[in-house]
Amino acid sequence: MKTLLITGGCGFIGANFIRFMLARKTGIRVVNLDKLTYAGNLSSLADIAADPRYRFVQGDICDPDLVGWLFAEEAPEAVVHFAAESHVDRSITGPSAFIQTNVVGTFTLLDAARAAWSDRPEGNGNRRFLHVSTDEVYGSLGPTGYFTEETPYDPRSPYSASKAASDHLASAYFHTYRLPVLITNCSNNYGPFQFPEKLIPLVINNALHGRELPVYGDGRNIRDWLFVEDHCRALSVVLERGAAGQTFNIGGNNEKQNIEIVTAICHLLDEMAPPLENGRPRTSLIRFVTDRPGHDRRYAIDAGKIRRELGWQPDTSFEEGLRRTVSWYLEHDAWLRGILDGSYRSYYESMYGGR
């Protein structure tokens, strides 16, 4: 049995990845280290909690004693590192947690892996440290062009700056210590189990209940959207076949303006959910609000390297992925209700309460 140490497995992509791997791969065990911040949700993995191939450990990646103990106890062959503070708006109002988890936490994990794996140099064995990162490290594009693996880093938000710092540390551990690091920089994900502070689940949740839909600025900022299951498949391919020291960009080849997405969700909900009072269309809930400070205009990924070298490309069209996502949220109202409590509820109500 090969043991994978997954960090942040109770978050959006981590939970999808654990489900993906346990459903499709034999001969693996998963140890999930997660602090259970506001974004971590045990109910996303409730149906696999009793699987003998799965172990959950609640804890902080910034704790060197805990992380060192876990490497000794579980002897993982690979690490897939998702744990992070991940929401740009929160990084603007409270950057400190982003520096702590994303920078110090990533350093703590890298250093524990270096200590635990010092017996075998890179190239010997199948050990892998897969650092999951974002295309936001590359900054903002104008109307044309794409991010490649060679694009210089130019992060603009505390979130993307903290992820850029963690990428540099991961890369430094490869060059300095030959730790078998791989880095992936992925575009915006969407799909089941995404926390409803991010654009797509926030709009689904608000539009479902007739609440206002805040669109920042002119709504014409562009993101390259990827269905989360396609991202999980890309990560599994990189983990299995990527050479240590490599970076891969992962993207959906699917650029959309925010306003197009918000409008598409309104149309889907008008079709799939009970109508609003007076039968008014959900697009009437759209409100253009003050722009996010330093709002990156456009992200677009050139995913040619992972396609050429590892044969990966996205399978799910945006139309299909968005319909599946809306259906999932309609069918999992209990999941949504369950997380709208505690610290998140107070944040959410301060933003949307009474409307």
Is 186 a residue that touches ligand TYD (CB under 6 A)?
A: no
Is 186 a residue that touches ligand NAD (CB under 6 A)?
A: yes
214 or 321: CB nearest ligand TYD: 214
Is 258 a residue that touches ligand NAD (CB under 6 A)?
A: no
In the residue annotation, 73 being an active-site residue is answered as no
Is 205 a residue that touches ligand TYD (CB under 6 A)?
A: no
Tokens 């920042």 identify what position?
A: 216
What 8-state DSSP symbol labels residue 275? P
Residue 256 and residue 223 in contact, taking contact as beta carbons nearer than 8 Å: yes
33 or 268: CB nearest ligand NAD: 33
Is 103 a residue that touches ligand TYD (CB under 6 A)?
A: no
286, β-bridge pairs: 213
32 or 282: CB nearest ligand NAD: 32
Q: Residue 209, Cβ neighbours under 10 Å: how many?
A: 12
For residue 301, which of 242, 244, 201, 234 has the smallest C-alpha distance?
234
What are the φ/ψ torsions at residue 255 (nearest 5 degrees)? -85, 135
Contacts of 27 (CB under 8 A, 6+ apart): 1, 2
Stretch that binds ligand TYD, among 119-127, 166-174, 208-216, 239-247 (CB under 6 A): 208-216
Q: State the Cα–Cα distance between residues 79 and 82, nearest whole angstrom.
A: 9
Q: β-strands 28-34, 78-81: how paired?
A: unpaired
Is 199 a residue that touches ligand TYD (CB under 6 A)?
A: yes
Residue 213 and residue 207 in contact, taking contact as beta carbons nearer than 8 Å: yes
Using CB distances below 5 to 8 A depending on partner kind, what does residue 36 bind out of ligand NAD, ligand TYD, none?
ligand NAD
Is 208 a residue that touches ligand TYD (CB under 6 A)?
A: no
Is 198 a residue that touches ligand TYD (CB under 6 A)?
A: yes
141 or 202: CB nearest ligand TYD: 202
Size of the site for ligand TYD (CB under 6 A): 12
Is 83 a residue that touches ligand NAD (CB under 6 A)?
A: yes
Residue 212: burial class (beta carbons within 10 Å; 0-12, 13-18, 19+): middle
What are the φ/ψ torsions at residue 78 (nearest 5 degrees)? -145, 150
Catalytic residues: 135-136, 159
Interface with ligand TYD (CB under 6 A): 88, 188, 198-199, 202, 214-216, 221, 223, 258, 292
Interface with ligand NAD (CB under 6 A): 7-8, 10-14, 34-37, 39-40, 60-62, 82-84, 86, 101, 105, 132-134, 163, 186, 188-189, 195
